[in-house]
Amino acid sequence: MFGIYLKRELGRRKKAALVIALGLALGIALVITVNSVSAGMTQAQDKVLKSLYGLGTDMTVTKTRSAPTSGSSGRPNFQFDASSNGSDKTQSSDRVMTQGGQALASSVVTKVAQQKGVASAVGALTLNVTKVDGSFTQGKAQSSGGNSGNSGSGGQGGPGGSGSGGNSTAAPQVQGGGANFDVNSYSVAGVDVGDQTLGPLAGSKITTGRTFTAAQSNAKVAVVSKSYAKENSLKVGKTLTISGTKYTVIGIATPDSSESTTDVYLPLKQAQTLADAKNKVTTIYVKASDSKQIDAVKSAIQKNISGTTVTTSADLAETVSGSLSTASNLATSVGKWLSIAVLAAAFLVSALLTSSAVSRRVREFGTLKALGWPSRRVTRQVVGESVVNGLLGGALGIGLGLAAAYAVTAISPKLTAQLGNTGGGGGMGGGPGGGGPGGQASQNTMEIALSAPVSMTTIALAVGLAVAGGLIAGAMGGWRASRMRPADALRSVS
C-alpha cells in the first residue's frame, strides 16, 4: 500500500518533485566537484614533493651552512695558467662544490637510523659543478707609425727620445686579443647504491639502460637525467667527464612526476672523491616506521643529534607557492564554504517546497485521517516521498559532479609550483634543488597538470547528503501534515 500510494503521488506531482530534486542535485554536484578538485590539488602537491624528496621519504636531515670564514667569500673561484707561450691559450676548469648545506659525517646517518620510529635512513651528497671552458687570444703591440719593435739607427727608441728621419715617438698600443669562455653549471648527486629506495634517485625510473648495482659502490659509472642526456647528446655507453675523471653512462633516468632537479647521479663514494669530502654527506633521507609519528621522530632526531635541521614533507609543503598554492587555497577555503552555503540553501528550498506542497494537500490528508490513517502513517508517507526526491536529486547530482570532474581532468589545466628556500642554506630540506654554493636562496619552478579524481568516499558523501536533504524536507512536511485534522478537509470542500 505504501509503495503504490508513493508511486501514484510522485507521478501526480512530477514538476514539484523535479524542482526539489534539481535543487539538491546542484548542491551535491558542487560538493563533488570541490572535493575532487581539492583531491587533485593534494595529488599535485604530493607530486611536487616526491619529485624533490624521492619516493617514500618522510623527512630529510641537514645541517645549516656556516658563514664563510674571514678572507673567504664562499663563492667559486678559478685560476688559470698565465703562460704566454703561443698566441692562443686554451683553458678548461671544473669547480666542484657541495650544495644544500654544511656537510655531515657519514656516521650521522647511522645515528639517525638508530632513532626510535625510524625505519631507514640513507645519506646523499649533493654537488654543484661549474665548468669554465674557453681560450685566451694574445694581443699584439702596434705603434701609430707602424714601426713598432724597430729601434732604427740613430733613434733613441725610448719614450720622449728623438729619432731621426721624423719617425713617431708615440708609445705602442696593444691591439686585438681577448678571451672567449663558456660557463656551464649542473648538479650532481651521490647515491648510496646499497639502498636506492630512498634518496635523490628514488623519485625517478630508469627508462634506458640500468641503475647502479651493489658492487658499483666506487665504480666510475653514472646515471643521467633524461633532460640532461638530451641536452648534451648522451647515451648509454658514452662517457661523461667531470673534473678530469671519465664516467661511463649506464642509465637514463626519467622523473616520475616532474622535471628532475638533479642532472647526474654517481655512486656516493665517487661523489665524495670529486668534492674532496670523504665520508661526508649533505642530506640524510629518512623514512618513518609510522606516518602518524613523523612529528615525534622529528623531535627525537633534533633532540638527540645536535646541530641538525629536520624538514618534513609538511614543512616543505608550506614553501610551495605559485598558481598551485593559490588554487589549493581557493578550493579548500572558498570552495568549502561555498559548498556549505549552496547545500544549506538547497535543503531550505526543498523543505519549503515540501511544506508548501503539503499545504495544498489538506483535503487529501484530512480525508485519509477520516478513513482511519494515524498521524504517524501520514508523516511516514510524506517523509517517504521526500526521501525519494532526495535520492533522485542525489543521482542527478552525482551525474553532474562526475561530468564536471571528468571535464577538469580532460582539460588538465596547467598549474605552476614554486619551491622556495626553507632557510638556513639547506634549501628544500637539503635535497636537490636547494640552496647553491654559499647558501643563497633559490626557487625551483615546476609545472603540474591538474586532475580531479572522484573517490568512493566522495560518492558516499553525496548519497548521505541526498538522504539528509530528503529527511530534512520530509520532517518539516510530515510535521505539518500530522497536525491536520479531518475537519480541515471538510472545510476545504467547496
Band of residue 265 on the pLDDT scale cut at 50, 70, 90: very high
pLDDT tens readout for residues 337-364: 777 787 788 778 777 777 777 776 767 7
What distances in angstroms separate CA 6 from CA 43, 86, 381, 386, one per listed residue? 45, 104, 7, 10
Copy the grid coordinates of residue 149: 719593435
Q: Which of 171-180, 430-439, 460-469 has the highest mean pLDDT?
A: 460-469
Lowest mean pLDDT of 358-367, 371-380, 446-455, 456-465, name the range: 358-367
Residues 296 and 330 in one domain: no
**Most confident of the following: 8-17, 78-87, 261-270:** 261-270
Same domain? For 337 and 416 the reply is yes
Residue 315 located in a structural domain: no
Q: Which of 50, 56, 49 lies closest to 195, judged by CA?
A: 56
pLDDT of residue 157: 46
If one compares 158 and 113, the residue with the highest pLDDT of the two is 113
In a domain, 64, yes or no: no
Q: 197 and 301, same structural domain?
A: yes
* Contact criterion met (CB below 8 Å) for 121 and 112: yes
Total domain count, the chain? 2
**76 within domain boundaries:** no
Q: Please tell me whether residues 184 and 255 are part of one structural domain.
A: yes
**Average pLDDT of 274-301?**
88
pLDDT of residue 291: 76
Residues 285/53, Cβ–Cβ less than 8 Å: yes
CA dist., res. 368 & res. 379, Å (int):
12
Residue 334 domain flag: yes
Domain shared by 471 and 381, yes or no: yes
Report how far residue 35's alpha carbon sits from residue 82's, in angstroms, rounded to the nearest whole number.
66
pLDDT band at 326 (very low <50, low <70, confident <90, very high): low
Residue 471 sits in the same domain as residue 347? yes
* Of 20-34, 134-148, 187-201, minimum mean pLDDT range: 134-148
Same structural domain, 227 and 100: yes
**What percentage of the chain carries pLDDT values higher than 70?**
64
- Max Cα separation, the chain? 146
Query: What is the grid cell recorded at 78?
Result: 678559478
Region 138-142: mean pLDDT is 69
Average pLDDT over residues 281-309: 88
Which pLDDT score is estimated for 154? 45
In a shared domain, residues 300 and 253 = yes
Distance, in Å, from the CA atom of 166 to the CA atom of 56, rounded to the nearest integer, reads: 85
Residue 72 covered by a domain: no
pLDDT exceeds cutoff 60 at 437: no
- pLDDT of 219-233, one tens digit each? 999 999 998 999 889
CA-to-CA distance for 32 and 18, rounded, in angstroms? 20
Segment 394-413 mean pLDDT: 88
Verify that 284 and 334 share a domain, yes or no. no
Residue 435 has pLDDT above 90, yes or no: no
The more confident residue out of 290 and 238 is 238
Q: What is the pLDDT of residue 446?
A: 67
Mean local confidence (pLDDT), 298-309:
89
Quote the domain boundaries for residue 387: 2-52+322-491
Separation of alpha carbons 213 and 431, rounded Å? 23
Percent of the chain with pLDDT over 90: 17
Region 149-164: what's the mean pLDDT? Answer: 46
Segment 298-305 mean pLDDT: 90
Asked if pLDDT for residue 438 goes beyond 70, the answer is no
CA nearest 187: which of 176, 199, 202, 200?
Answer: 200
Q: Are residues 7 and 122 in the same domain?
A: no
Tell me: do 349 and 411 sit in the same domain. Answer: yes
